[in-house]
Amino acid sequence: MNHKFIEFIKIAKKLSDIDIIPLLMGSVGLEVVTGKSWCAQDLDIHVPGDERGWEVPPELNIHKWNDIVNIMKSLEYSLIDLHEHEFSKDGLSVEFGIIDTLPSFAGVQLEDLEMHQTEDVKYYLLNLEQYVSVYESSSKDSYRANNNNNKDSRKIDFLKSMLYGNEKS
């Protein structure tokens, strides 16, 4: 297990104390699902929040935000960007997103998320098809497309080859 995933499990264990089962997103989640290293730069954790997302002030759009801040402080993280819900510790960035925006953003229904468990800690992971939907939606975001060196398209191509073999979809 890589150290970012181990750190996610520590955070998820604390989140379970406030009745939150998080969704591990981003490259670390993708590494768990595919078994391939994607050189993850940070941890992306989605938790319950307001489905309107960014339309709501950042201190209000994630449910139990103050509890999450206290959990992260107890794990020695510092809040470095409220708008991005980003914390940092020892060079590791942890960003919280809103799980409830997945249906409108990528067409991923919350009831279709797959529950996993490691060391008695429950969490959700996207499956391959759901990752394709998320990365295809993300790749349409001009900021992301301009700033991630086409990593999304490489991930989409890899995922589609895992799903469909050499067929072109």
Q: How far apart are CA 14 and CA 17, in angstroms?
A: 5
Residue 167, pLDDT above cutoff 80 = no
Percent of the chain topping pLDDT 70: 91
CA 125-122-113 angle, to 5 degrees, is 35
Tell me what pLDDT residue 148 has.
Answer: 57
Once rounded to an integer, what is the mean pLDDT over residues 144-169?
A: 73
Under DSSP, is residue 135 helix (H, G, I), strand (E, B) or coil? helix
Give, in words, the CATH class of 3-164: alpha beta
Which residues, other chains included, contact 72 with Cβ-Cβ below 8 Å and sequence gap of 6+?
11, 79, 87, 94
Instruction: Please state whether beta strands 42-47 and 92-98 pair in parallel, antiparallel, or not at all (unpaired).
Output: parallel
Tell me what pLDDT residue 166 has.
Answer: 61
Q: How far apart are CA 99 and CA 23, in angstroms?
A: 7
Once rounded to an integer, what is the mean pLDDT over residues 99-113?
A: 96
Which residues, other chains included, contact 69 with Cβ-Cβ below 8 Å and sequence gap of 6+?
79
Residue 143, pLDDT above cutoff 60 = no
Mean pLDDT for all residues in the chain: 91
Which residues, other chains included, contact 115 with Cβ-Cβ below 8 Å and sequence gap of 6+?
21, 122, 123, 124
Lowest mean pLDDT among 3-12, 35-44, 125-134, 153-162: 153-162
Q: How confident is the model at residue 149 (pLDDT cuts 50, 70, 90)?
A: low
Sketch the domain layout of the chain as residue ranges: 3-164
**Please, are residues 67 and 91 in contact by the beta-carbon 8 Å criterion?**
no
Residue 85, pLDDT above cutoff 90 = yes
Residue of higher predicted confidence among 104 and 54: 104
